[in-house]
Amino acid sequence: MTLLPAPMYSSARGFTLIELLVVLAIVATLSMMVYPRYSQRIDMAKETTLQENLRSVRAVIDDFRGDKGRYPESLEELVEQRYLKALPLDPITESSSTWRIIAPPDGLEGAVYDLHSGAAGVTRNGRAYADW
């Protein structure tokens, strides 16, 4: 009985380092092409959400004024009186405590006449978030 020498290489097949590097380079290139569009869509969604949150809270403030004959003393009063389930988040700052409250004109009762975003910076079209 003769013994055959062991093979010098394994019969298991795998990927070489070069093949892995080529695949990683292709994935990185595709990611770099997609990311700018993805980040623009996120910014657009945040701006749209901010507009909708401001619109709905302003409508609730008007409803409160119509029902009570005065403006609310705080945004929390809108939640306590069940005009809102919860104070919405400012999607730009990702916080519900950064809203900038505008007081009513002299002679009107209450403390919350309007609200604006407390976010610094500008929108995609150059308008300041604080002006919304």
- Could you report the per-residue pLDDT of 19-43, keeping only the tens digit for each? 999 999 999 999 999 888 888 999 9
| Sequence letter at residue 33 | M
Model pLDDT, residue 3: 66
Model pLDDT, residue 99: 96
Q: How far, in Å, CA of 57 to CA of 72, rounded?
A: 12
Model pLDDT, residue 124: 86
Residues of the chain with pLDDT under 50: none
Model pLDDT, residue 11: 60
Model pLDDT, residue 57: 97
- b/e map 87-126, b = 16+ CB within 10 Å: bbbbbbbeeeeebeeeebeeeeebebbebbbbbeeebeee
